[in-house]
């Protein structure tokens, strides 16, 4: 759980922006709001901390870029005590900030365990985030892992930025896919259960989904060999016809079908819950399609009554979206059974009514971009003024070095198997690096799990959500480079330093530290910590845990560079040693909070 605390510092960026705005007004009578002054971090090859690009104001000020930058620089240096100097490279005005400012900032944040995190007002209208959304005909796989980790992390990220977040799951527990598994179990299962087979329930049901596809393809081939067109054969294969009939019987409330459905779904839920526990994700509320599709059907009828939907001659119901640049969208099949859009309409209304949501966020792969375009349009045409609050967080697919995964063919990377493989790899890598020698067997097992999940989560979350990604398990668990274990090890190293400082040097990390003249490596670390509230805000606005992951890596990398070049416990000056120990502890605290946003634990010992 993340506890939040407000950050009350007035950051130097705001002061410089205000001073530039005032100087533009006083020197050139230009009205530019402070928040519209673009302030960038100075590039490493130039001296300075913050840069203002003056080119946008050159024409109105009637000055050359260099002259304008020099006049603004002089005015800002006079107005802002913390600015100790400036330099001009063409139209780029670079400001230098005093060590006393950085020390003042550091002393204000060093003992704040929740630095960078905002308070959550539970009375605010919530942001409702839906993720996971599995089908009950197969176990969770690598694609689901990205979905779950992204959804959980975005929820943590928005909460860290002060949003009231509710995490929900919509279980797709009905439909033709589920009927395929049920029918295959009836035909080929011989009464097999999770208990009799020793399989997790979701794995067992998934086995029969694959079994259905195998026999179905055989039937299609048999029909095409007899001369039937392939598309017709796919529709008329006996197994598919019977699965469609089973779905219709389910919607009609057939007792036998409903009992089998409840039994097999129960197996799956138990399996899902175990995988969710391993991944460390959860939900505030779980919705079930079987409870929402009827509300969706009511909305479809409402749309027919309003004239915004239409019924074709075969009885199917559609929405004509050609005026929106799309096509016609099916909302009810000709036999009256519902489609995904039907239940999503019902679920959206139910969810909005349940929470009075400020925003409805759907974490769903980019293959459903069209679906969510349609959902927003149809909700709007049905008269719901909150339709524009629907937001599709579209993410790219996860692939493996050997290509894409296909559930019905049984070629997916199972989530449980992947986690077990990651734990095994973590054990091997830890032993190879000698990072567990002083731990008990129980502590070692826990460490392997923490490292495995840290590697998996970080590798997936460091990639921008919109991009497809290639998952490489071996690369993800490397103790060097941009990986979860590298950051976890950095945290453990810092905690070791702090323990030694407390026990061997008698240092209390909560002792105030006097001003220090900072060396380059110290200043780099302090400046990076200074960025943390802004990074969280930007990442939350962009729904991008990747920004948090890569920022955490930058902090860990900067600390390691400082650690390699700067003595800490061997430093002779007492105040300098205290400062460096406190700086190390502050880095550890920030890394811990950043990684928690990603759902990753950081061990104190490795």
Q: Are residues 331 and 350 in the same domain?
A: yes
- pLDDT attached to residue 412: 65
- Distance in angstroms (rounded) separating the CA atoms of residues 435 and 448: 11
CA 157 to chain centre: 8
End-to-end Cα spacing for the chain: 23
Q: What pLDDT band is residue 418 in, cutting at 50, 70 and 90?
A: confident
For residue 319, give every residue at least 6 positions away whose Cβ sits within 8 Å of its Cβ, in sequence order, or none.
303, 308, 309, 310, 328, 329, 331, 374, 377, 378, 381
- Is 28 domain-assigned? yes
Q: What's 60's domain CATH number?
A: 3.30.1360.70
Q: What's 441's domain CATH number?
A: 1.10.730.10
Q: Are residues 185 and 268 in the same domain?
A: yes
- pLDDT attached to residue 605: 87
Q: Are residues 287 and 398 in the same domain?
A: yes
Residue 415 CA: distances (Å) to CA of 73, 142, 403, 521, 545? 56, 6, 17, 41, 21
- Is 292 domain-assigned? yes
pLDDT tens, residue by residue, 381-392? 999 999 999 999
Q: Are residues 335 and 360 in the same domain?
A: yes
Residue ending a domain, among 361, 387, 409, is 409
Q: Are residues 455 and 318 in the same domain?
A: no
For residue 403, give every residue at least 6 positions away whose Cβ sits within 8 Å of its Cβ, in sequence order, or none.
none
Of the chain, the percentage scoring pLDDT greater than 90 comes to: 82
Q: What's 332's domain CATH number?
A: 3.40.50.620
Average pLDDT over residues 234-243: 95
pLDDT tens, residue by residue, 177-215? 999 999 999 999 999 999 999 999 999 999 999 999 999
Average pLDDT over residues 452-467: 94
- pLDDT attached to residue 65: 95
Q: Is the pLDDT of residue 9 over 60?
A: no
Q: Are residues 343 and 419 in the same domain?
A: no
Strand locations in 251-337 (E): 285-288, 310-311, 317-320, 328-332
Which candidate, 194, 210, 263, 189, places its Cα nearest to that of 412?
A: 210
Of the chain, the percentage scoring pLDDT greater than 70 comes to: 96
Q: Is the pLDDT of residue 158 over 70?
A: yes
- Distance in angstroms (rounded) separating the CA atoms of residues 109 and 502: 20
Total number of domains in the chain: 3
Find out whether 167 and 241 touch, Cβ atoms under 8 Å. no
Read off the tokens for 291. 């409870």
Helix, strand and coil in the chain, % to nearest 5? 60, 10, 30
Q: Are residues 399 and 427 in the same domain?
A: no
For residue 255, give every residue at least 6 positions away whose Cβ sits within 8 Å of its Cβ, in sequence order, or none.
none
Average pLDDT over residues 107-129: 94
Q: What pLDDT band is residue 435 in, cutting at 50, 70 and 90?
A: low
- Is 380 domain-assigned? yes
Residue ending a domain, among 409, 438, 467, is 409
- Is 115 domain-assigned? no
Residue ending a domain, among 391, 409, 427, is 409
Give the neighbor-by-neighbor strand order of the sheet with 83-89.
39-41, 50-53, 92-97, 83-89
Q: Are residues 185 and 250 in the same domain?
A: yes
- Is 604 domain-assigned? no
Q: Are residues 357 and 495 in the same domain?
A: no
- Is 606 domain-assigned? no
Reduce the DSSP state of residue 113 to 3 states and report it: coil
Domain boundaries, position 85: 12-97
- Is 400 domain-assigned? yes
pLDDT tens, residue by residue, 284-327? 999 998 888 889 999 999 999 999 999 999 999 999 999 999 99
- Distance in angstroms (rounded) separating the CA atoms of residues 91 and 68: 8
Q: Are residues 298 and 385 in the same domain?
A: yes
Q: Is the pLDDT of residue 3 over 60?
A: no
CA 565 to chain centre: 35
User: What is the DSSP track for 125-160?
Assistant: PPEEEE----BTTS--BHHHHHHHHHHHHHHHHHHH
Q: What pLDDT band is residue 411 in, cutting at 50, 70 and 90?
A: low
Residue 521 CA: distances (Å) to CA of 209, 491, 562, 579? 57, 18, 5, 13
- Is 123 domain-assigned? no
Helix 441-461, helix 142-160: angle, nearest 10:
90
Q: Are residues 88 and 158 in the same domain?
A: no
Q: Is the pLDDT of residue 409 over 50?
A: no
Which candidate, 528, 529, 509, places its Cα nearest to that of 578?
A: 509
Of the CA atoms within 13 Å of residue 120, those in its CB half-sphere come to 20
- Distance in angstroms (rounded) separating the CA atoms of residues 90 and 71: 13
Between 251 and 232, the more confident residue is 232
Strand locations in 471-559 (E): none
Q: Are residues 231 and 250 in the same domain?
A: yes
Residue 361 CA: distances (Å) to CA of 155, 166, 494? 10, 10, 37
The answer to whether the Cα torsion of 561, 566, 569, 573 is positive or negative is: negative
- pLDDT attached to residue 427: 87
- pLDDT attached to residue 563: 97
């Amino acid at each position: 759980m993340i506890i939040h605390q407000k950050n009350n510092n007035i950051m130097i960026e705001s002061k410089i922006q205000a001073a530039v705005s005032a100087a533009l007004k006083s020197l050139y009578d230009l009205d530019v709001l402070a928040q519209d002054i673009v302030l960038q971090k100075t590039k490493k090859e130039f001296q300075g901390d913050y840069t203002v690009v003056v080119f946008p104001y050159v024409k109105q000020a009637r000055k050359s870029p260099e002259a304008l930058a020099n006049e603004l620089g002089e005015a800002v240096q006079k107005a802002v005590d913390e600015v100790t100097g400036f330099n001009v490279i063409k139209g780029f005005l670079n400001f230098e900030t005093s060590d006393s400012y950085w020390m003042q900032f550091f002393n204000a944040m060093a003992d704040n365990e929740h630095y960078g995190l905002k308070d959550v007002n539970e009375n605010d209208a919530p942001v409702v985030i839906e993720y996971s959304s599995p089908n009950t005909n197969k176990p969770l796989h690598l694609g689901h892992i990205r979905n779950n980790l992204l959804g959980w992390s975005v929820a943590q990220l928005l909460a860290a930025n002060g949003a009231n977040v509710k995490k929900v799951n919509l279980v797709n527990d009905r439909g033709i896919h589920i009927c395929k598994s049920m029918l295959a179990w009836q035909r080929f299962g011989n009464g097999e259960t999770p208990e009799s087979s020793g399989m997790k329930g979701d794995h067992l049901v998934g086995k029969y989904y694959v079994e259905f596809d195998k026999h179905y393809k055989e039937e299609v081939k048999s029909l095409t060999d007899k001369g039937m067109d392939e598309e017709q054969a796919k529709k008329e294969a006996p197994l598919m016809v019977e699965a469609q009939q089973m779905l219709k019987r389910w919607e009609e409330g057939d007792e036998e079908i409903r009992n089998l459905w409840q039994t097999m779904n129960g197996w799956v839920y138990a399996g899902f819950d175990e995988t969710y526990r391993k991944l460390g994700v959860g939900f505030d509320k779980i919705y079930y399609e079987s409870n929402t599709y009827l509300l969706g059907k009511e909305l479809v009828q409402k749309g027919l009554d309003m004239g915004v939907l239409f019924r074709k001659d075969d009885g199917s119901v559609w929405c004509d979206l050609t005026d929106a640049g799309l096509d016609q969208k099916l909302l009810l099949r000709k036999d009256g059974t519902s489609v995904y859009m039907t239940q999503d309409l019902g679920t959206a209304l139910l969810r909005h009514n349940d929470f009075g949501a400020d925003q409805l966020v759907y974490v769903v792969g980019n293959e459903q971009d069209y679906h969510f375009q349609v959902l927003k349009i149809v909700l709007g045409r049905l008269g719901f003024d909150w339709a524009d609050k629907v937001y599709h967080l579209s993410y790219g697919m996860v692939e493996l070095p050997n290509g894409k995964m296909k559930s019905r063919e049984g070629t997916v990377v199972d989530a449980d198997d992947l986690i077990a493989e990651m734990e095994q790899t973590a054990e091997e890598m830890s032993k190879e690096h000698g990072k567990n020698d002083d731990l008990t067997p129980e502590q070692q097992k826990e460490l392997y799990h923490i490292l495995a999940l840290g590697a998996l989560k970080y590798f997936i979350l460091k990639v921008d959500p919109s991009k497809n990604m290639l998952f490489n398990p071996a690369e993800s668990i490397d103790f060097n480079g941009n990986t979860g274990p590298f950051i976890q090890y950095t945290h453990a190293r810092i905690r070791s330093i702090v323990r030694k400082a407390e026990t061997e040097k008698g240092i209390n990390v909560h002792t105030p530290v006097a001003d220090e003249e900072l060396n380059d490596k110290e200043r780099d670390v302090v400046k990076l910590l200074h960025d943390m509230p802004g990074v969280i805000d930007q990442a939350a606005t962009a729904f991008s845990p990747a920004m948090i992951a890569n920022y955490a890596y930058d902090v860990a990398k900067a600390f390691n560079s400082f650690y390699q070049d700067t003595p800490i416990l061997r430093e002779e000056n007492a105040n300098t040693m205290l400062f460096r120990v406190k700086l190390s502890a502050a880095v550890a605290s920030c890394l811990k909070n950043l990684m928690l946003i990603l759902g990753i634990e950081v061990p104190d010992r490795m």
